Amino acid sequence: MTLALATWNVNSLKVRLPHLLRWLAQRQLDIVCLQETKLPDDRFPVPELQAAGYRSVFAGQKTYNGVAILSRLPTEPADIQVNLPNFPDEQRRLLAASFDGLRVVCAYVPNGQSVDSDKYAYKLKWLEALAHWLRGELARHDQLALAGDFNIAPEARDVHDPVRWDGQVLFSEPERAAFRALLDLGLKDAFRLFEQPERSYTWWDYRNLAFRRQWGLRIDHILLSPSLAAQCSACTIDVALRGCEQPSDHAPVIATLSL
C-alpha cells in the first residue's frame, strides 16, 4: 500500500483551518504532522477534522508552539508521547504516535531567535535531547519518520543567499551540526533521496515579497529511518499552499511511502 505523510507549519491552526481542510480534500494524505497550531487542547478543531475523515492527536498551548498529528488510517494512533521525556519543557513542541508498525514523530524545533540569544542555547539543548531520545526510539521502531519544522537549513543549497545567511540563526554551524547528528543516527532526509529543482525552499519571510523573489530557506523536513527511506518513492514541497490567500509562511513537505 502507498501512504502519504506530510508536515506543515500552519502558523495558527485557527487562521489556517480553512486552508488545511481544503488541502486535505485536495491531496490524498494519510498522516499529517502540524506545527505552530497555537491552540490550547480544548480549542483544537476535532469535529471539523473528524468530518473531513481524520483522527487528531494534539499537544497545544495558548499563543505559541503546539503540535498535532492527523491520520485517516483505520488503525488508531497508539503509544502517544507528548514532549521529550528527557527534556522537561512547558513548551509543546513534540508529539509521537504509532500507527501499527509506523512510528511518527512530529517536531517543532525551537527557532533560536539569534545566535547570541538564550533561546539559541535552548534550541541546541533541545536538539541534543531529541537526538538522545531518538536513538532509543530508532532501536524500538524499525519504521520511523521524524517530520516537522526543524528551523535549520542543512546545506548551502537550502538557502537562497548562503553568504548572507552564513552564521545566522537557522544556518549556523552548530545548528547544522545538530542536524547532521540526526542523520548520524541513520535517518535520511527524504527530500534529498530524489532529484529536486534548484531553489527548493519551505519557508519564505512574509516581508519584502520574499516568496515571489524566491528568497527562501528549506527548514521543514521529513527524516526517515533506513528501512522507511528504502520504501520512500517520492518527496515534494507543496509550494502552491504558500502562494494562496492569507498563507502560512511555510509550505508543506509530502513524502510518499510504499509499505
Partner DNA sequence: ATGGCAATGTTTCATTGA
Q: Give the footprint of DNA on this chain (CB under 7 A).
A: 9, 11-12, 14-15, 36, 38, 62-64, 110-111, 113-114, 119, 149, 151, 160-161, 164, 169-170, 203, 205-208, 210, 213, 215, 217, 219, 246, 249-250
Q: 81 with 92: CB under 8 angstroms?
A: no
> 95 with 58: CB under 8 angstroms?
yes
Q: By the 8 A CB rule, do 131 and 95 touch?
A: no
The yes-or-no answer on residue 149 being catalytic is yes
Nearer to DNA, 162 or 226 (CB): 162
| Minimum gap (Å) between residue 16 Cβ and DNA | 7
CB 100, min distance to DNA, A: 31
3-state SS, residue 98: strand
Nearer to DNA, 44 or 203 (CB): 203
Cβ atoms < 10 Å from Cβ of 107: 25
d(CA 250, CA 232): 23
120 catalytic residue (yes or no) = no
- Rank residues 86 and 113 by Cβ distance to DNA and give the closer one: 113
Distance in Å, CB of 2 to DNA, minimum? 30
Q: Which is nearer to DNA, 66 or 77 (CB)?
A: 66
Choice among 54, 108, 120, 201 that is catalytic: 108
| Of 192, 179, 224, residue with least CA distance to 5 | 224
The single residue listed with the C-alpha cell 475523515 is 53
The residues assigned a catalytic role are 108, 149
